[in-house]
Structure 1
């Protein structure tokens, strides 16, 4: 695939029109926190029938499960990013992500965590009853999801440094008591449903805390002992609301343990659950980066044609031309990486964690470099909030940290090479 399909282009144009009408006029309100992002996404879902499609797809899946069949029997591989879709429309979801990121990356971040992490975790690990309980409102975005693994002292060492823990409550019904804290949680302040990772403390002092089994639970807003903080103030992606979660003796029934099993033998269902999301999350950065780069390039080309200096349009100066040409090369490279992802989805080819890390590393760095150069092209104006390249630069930087810092991605790429 070297170009977007006709369907992808039609979706792009429709989403672009929606963005121009429903999001661009409200960017300042989203950036200031005056407007929450969730209503805009629900309007997007209603406008394009995404909620109805998601509901129909989920109902078919649940029906197959109730009949004892495979959840994917008779269906094509889902490959449209967080929105699903069959192999023939693999690029559709990525087109939507890219177009939204041109204007408000934070809106995409919040939506992506709910639909791209919370939903797949419950869908992939939950029992039929658990999927019936939580997924109907999540897939339509009627309820907002969060995915909580990061802690204040763990960062990229998500498993080894994890201190949140559960102990069995001793009541005989298989329940647990959860204590701990999570931080940098997208949608944390507002989430209705939260997937939480915690270590099982079985009281054995001979087991290294770093090696304890990780379990995955689903919590609902308002549970006793479960506290959601106010939104953090951040450098960028202001329209994404990020916060902390606190767990103080939160009682969890067995029905909140995903899969209702702790894993057999030496298995670790919790770690496997988290790892299965890492590649998908990192691959999604390519679409987000492409949106940022395309918007920066559009703004810079327009500015270079209209801004004059010493009696000439600045686009006539070779240094500005170099910046624009470098941006275009970055756009081409990132787009081609995204096409690689789409082609893999169409053919059912899995992308390894090492390749996903390489894609995330390159694309996030490219988007950040382009956005910072865009500020430079605009000069003093680029440093002002009235000119959107300032926002794009702040937002782009988050991609180098989001979904695992780039330093960690480099390690995964190298390990992939050395293990071959």
Structure 2
């Protein structure tokens, strides 16, 4: 069993101070869409030197690749904030931001936790040199496009976006939806099926992975959707109309990528994305518990503080149990990162399933504890509930997580 280190706690307190100063005062503007989320994250990076550390780490990696001392597919790295040794620090940052604005983390997580690792693990040296420097510092925004109108949970089988060969190039057609950062992304990783015109079953066709840049001819980034929650994360559709892609945009620059078909790349991303939900859920639960505990001490009913009533105490106790369980799962993730042990897709799915449900339950109970005030925007628990609900859908619906957990058990 581990605990937060002194460094983690110091980082937590510093980030909490940043959030109180730079995020909380702008929540209404972020929620309404009047303020874009990206400048706040860039200010966070500048304040804590995250961008500079990321640039230095990337340069060292590229130097090793140039020297031939690291393989081109040298792993996915440690997610948003570095290797396993600093994983705790990164999760602290995520949790603290999610206490106030989950959307900031969602946008940041897709760019740094999905777009960057995909290019890093599958791209050639030239491709990494081309796209990663501006992405790891958040100077440019990344998106990761796999979901389509008819292929959410059935991401590969139902995928209709396709490419056809045209000499040395590829022509991309199709549509993606529910794409985080989609309306604003500068760089987009896109999954599409290869149509070889051989009459093969569309469900079984090879999946290729490409990198697109904003403004390419035939590539349209639609305006943001209106959503129930995570309003500070901008989500939209992408349209591809005969977009010409050179082989330099095919990750690995070959259809026979050593790290496997595009499905393998996406599956490793699924696990990382689901693990990230654990720290996001912890932030929501901790903030709900803080707000509810304070409210239970100050709100009076029939001459008593409501915290003296057993039904209120039961709600608080259940929230604390959820907090402990989710925190312990996060410590499991950190321990695996420090030991260099990979968490399986089945375990990642189990974590995502439990933590997302726990966060949603806690947030809904927080509204109930606040009563009529909880339904009002100014008390913020209604925002936490709307944001938390997204975790049950985000990174694969919870119904799909159950399937992955069961398959993992049955395969033993």
Task: Give the conservation status (yes or no) of the 8 Å contact 1:61–1:72.
Answer: no
1:256 pairs with 2:254: no
Matches within 5 A, 1:296-375: 296-375=288-367
Runs of 4+ in 1 over 6 A off after TM superposition: none
Residue aligning to 1:92 = 89
Give the Cα separation in 2 of the matches to 1:107 and 1:76: 26
Q: CA deviation at 1:76?
A: 12
Give the Cα separation in 1 of the matches to 2:58 and 2:125: 12
Q: CA deviation at 1:268?
A: 4.8
Distance 1:86 1:411, change over 3 A: closer
For the residue of structure 2 that corresponds to 1:259, the secondary structure is coil
Residue aligning to 1:189 = 183
Residue aligning to 1:390 = 382
Residue aligning to 1:3 = 3
Residue aligning to 2:287 = 295
Residue aligning to 1:110 = 107
Matches within 5 A, 1:261-276: 261-263=254-256, 268-276=260-268
Give the Cα separation in 1 of the matches to 2:205 and 2:191: 12
Task: Give the conservation status (yes or no) of the 8 Å contact 1:116–1:281.
Answer: yes
TM-score, structure 1 length as denominator? Answer: 0.96
Q: Deviations over 1:69-113 (max 9, x none)?
A: 11599x99954x4111452x3301000000000000000000000
Number of positions where the alignment pairs a residue of Structure 1 with one of Structure 2: 412
TM-score, structure 2 length as denominator? Answer: 0.98
Give the Cα separation in 1 of the matches to 2:83 and 2:76: 8
For the residue of structure 2 that corresponds to 1:147, the secondary structure is strand
Give the Cα separation in 2 of the matches to 1:116 and 1:362: 21
Structure 1 unaligned runs (5+)? none
Give the Cα separation in 1 of the matches to 2:342 and 2:46: 32
Residue aligning to 1:42 = 42
Residue aligning to 1:150 = 147
Task: Give the conservation status (yes or no) of the 8 Å contact 1:357–1:409.
Answer: yes
Distance 1:130 1:239, change over 3 A: same
Q: Deviations over 1:327-353 (max 9, x none)?
A: 000000000000000000011111110
Task: Give the conservation status (yes or no) of the 8 Å contact 2:72–2:122.
Answer: no
Residue aligning to 1:53 = 53
